[in-house]
Amino acid sequence: MPIGEAVIEIEDLSFSYGAEPVLEKISLAVQRGDFLGVIGPNGGGKTTLLKLVLGLLPAPPGCVRLFGQPLEMFKERARVGYVRQRALSLEQRFPATVEEIVSLGRVPRLSRWRPWGSADTRAVRAALRAVEIEELRERSIWELSGGQQQRAWLARVLAQEPELLLLDEPTTAVDPRAEAEFYGLLEKLNREQGLTVVLVSHDLETIARQVTKIACLNKRLLYYGVPEECSHPILEELYAGKRVLHHGHGWASSPSPSQGEGTG
């Protein structure tokens, strides 16, 4: 697929939980090589949008296309990687080494007729190298810092060799330095490997340097375009009633990230 071709196409997508509308008439297209940041307040529908694209929630037929195919027909799920909020991953404290965790990323690429092979081992090593935690591979995942664990989750999804990466507030409960490094890593993957990235965050400031496009979502899509043209009035409307915005270095601060489960 050449650069510039649409990886995700969403047209007139509405979704509600029962009678409660969460998304209203969303239309957008993500091109190959894009790094899209989806921002908005908690409860604004960001996670719901991601889950619809991932097929974890039932999208109305005909509204979403992945790699040019209608979502209902799309079978090559392994092309889409997903990193969910860290706090929710592996909550059982089950013992596992970093390498065992990252190896799980290969599962979608395996089948009964194609068991584990040297290509899979290579993909796991490459993923560990890409997130710079190769030396930690024998360590128990629970001995790692929050930032290192986050890299392990990222390595797991990279081992899957996805073409599109969807991340849902991946740095919740990670310290600011580790967060900046994590976003730097994503930027590198996007630039050097041409990985298409969609990053959900409720904080524009932390992702503004990396993303090439911004979607401002609060039930409706208030803005979709380059981050430089995302004006203060839009951001004020986006976070209306949530918190007074103050002016930073050309960027408006969004509400402070809560450490809870973002269901937005």
Partner 1 sequence: MFEIFDYEFMRLAFIGGTVVAILAPTIGIFLVPRRYALIGDGLGHIAFGGIGLALFLKFEPTATALAISILAALGIERLRATGRLSGDVAIALFLSGGLAIGLILARLAKRSTDQLWTYLFGSILTLKAEDLLWMIPLALGVLATVFLWRRELLYSTLDEETARASGVAVSGINLLFVLLTAITIVLSMTIVGLLLISALIVLPVAAALQRARSVRQAYLLALLVSLISVYLGLIGSYYLDTPPGPTIVLSALGLFGGMSVIAGRP
Q: How does DSSP assign 201-223, residue by residue?
A: -S-HHHHTTT-SEEEEEESEEEE
Residue matched to tokens 């392994």:
78
Coil vs helix vs strand at 232: helix
13 or 101, CB closer to partner 1? 101
24 or 163, CB closer to partner 1? 163
What character string, x for contact with partner 1 (CB under 8 A) and - otherwise, covers 117-156?
-----------------------x---------------x
**Shortest distance, position 239 Cβ to partner 1, whole Å:** 28
Nearest to 169 by CA among 94, 262, 100, 248: 262
Cβ atoms 150, 181 nearer than 8 A: no
Does 160 bind partner 1 (CB under 8 A)? Our answer is yes
Does 104 bind partner 1 (CB under 8 A)? Our answer is yes
From the list 2, 17, 73, 112, which residue makes contact with partner 1 (rule: CB under 8 A)? 112
Does 262 bind partner 1 (CB under 8 A)? Our answer is no
Residue matched to tokens 């990985």:
195
190 Cβ neighbours under 8 A, 6+ residues apart: 33, 35, 196, 197, 210, 212
Interaction site with partner 1 (CB under 8 A): 54-56, 75-78, 80-84, 88-90, 92, 94-97, 100-101, 103-108, 110, 112, 116, 140, 156-157, 160, 162
